[in-house]
Amino acid sequence: MQNHENSAPEENIENIENNTESANTTENTEKTDETSANPTLDAEAKIKELNERYLRLYSEFDNYRKRTVKEKSEIIKTAAEDVFKAILPVIDDLERAIKANEGVEDVNAVKEGLQLISNKLKNTIQNKGLTAFDSLGSVFNPDTMEAITHIPATSDEQKGKVIDELEKGYKLGDKVIRFAKVVVAQ
């Protein structure tokens, strides 16, 4: 009798497992029947999923755009900072020279001091990539020069060449940031 009693719970467990499996199978067949019977539900679910994916992607792109705009504006605000920091010592030198020259009677000392400050400024801007270019005696180039006036040439060799430079031209790297103002012989 004991064997019979022990086998009964095992049979009950097996029956429960079989019932659960058959219920799961029935649910799965009903779901596949629903989706196959109603393809619009499947299409709507797909559309909903694609819309959600699109919204996430759009949000990511919008955040990226906002972040890059912010980074660019910060770069623009601080772009000249290092140049100004490099020029500040030259300004300090000029201020000291002005104070020192108030009671000086020796003009040569003033000239020498101004020459030193000028050389320091030129070296500073050259280290930052700004270079002056000479145009005197060269053929007029409208890409780097601006003709202020034309005067008659004294010889055929001077025609089309720069005979006077009113303001030097400057390049930052390869880009002309100030055109040379010149007088051209015609």
- Domain membership of residue 76 (yes or no) is no
Tell me whether strands 130-133 and 145-151 are parallel, antiparallel or unpaired. unpaired
- Entry pTM: 0.57
pLDDT at residue 15, as a whole number: 53
Q: Which domain holds residue 137?
A: 131-186
Distance CA 55, CA 63 (A): 12
Distance CA 168, CA 180 (A): 5
pLDDT at residue 3, as a whole number: 47
- Domain membership of residue 178 (yes or no) is yes
Yes or no: say if 142 and 159 are a contact pair by the CB < 8 Å rule.
no
- Domain membership of residue 11 (yes or no) is no
pLDDT at residue 107, as a whole number: 87
- Which CATH number covers residue 184? 2.30.22.10
- Domain membership of residue 160 (yes or no) is yes
- Domain membership of residue 186 (yes or no) is yes
pLDDT at residue 122, as a whole number: 92
pLDDT in tens, 53-63: 999 999 999 99
Yes or no: say if 180 and 144 are a contact pair by the CB < 8 Å rule.
yes
- Domain membership of residue 82 (yes or no) is no
pLDDT at residue 60, as a whole number: 96
pLDDT at residue 56, as a whole number: 95
Residue numbers of the chain with a pLDDT score lower than 70: 1-37
CB-neighbour burial class of residue 145 (10 A; exposed 0-12, middle 13-18, buried 19+): buried
| Paired strand residues for 161 | 139
Task: Give the chain's domain count.
Answer: 1
pLDDT at residue 138, as a whole number: 93
- Domain membership of residue 15 (yes or no) is no
Token pair of 71, please?
């980074």
Distance CA 101, CA 98 (A): 5
- Domain membership of residue 163 (yes or no) is yes
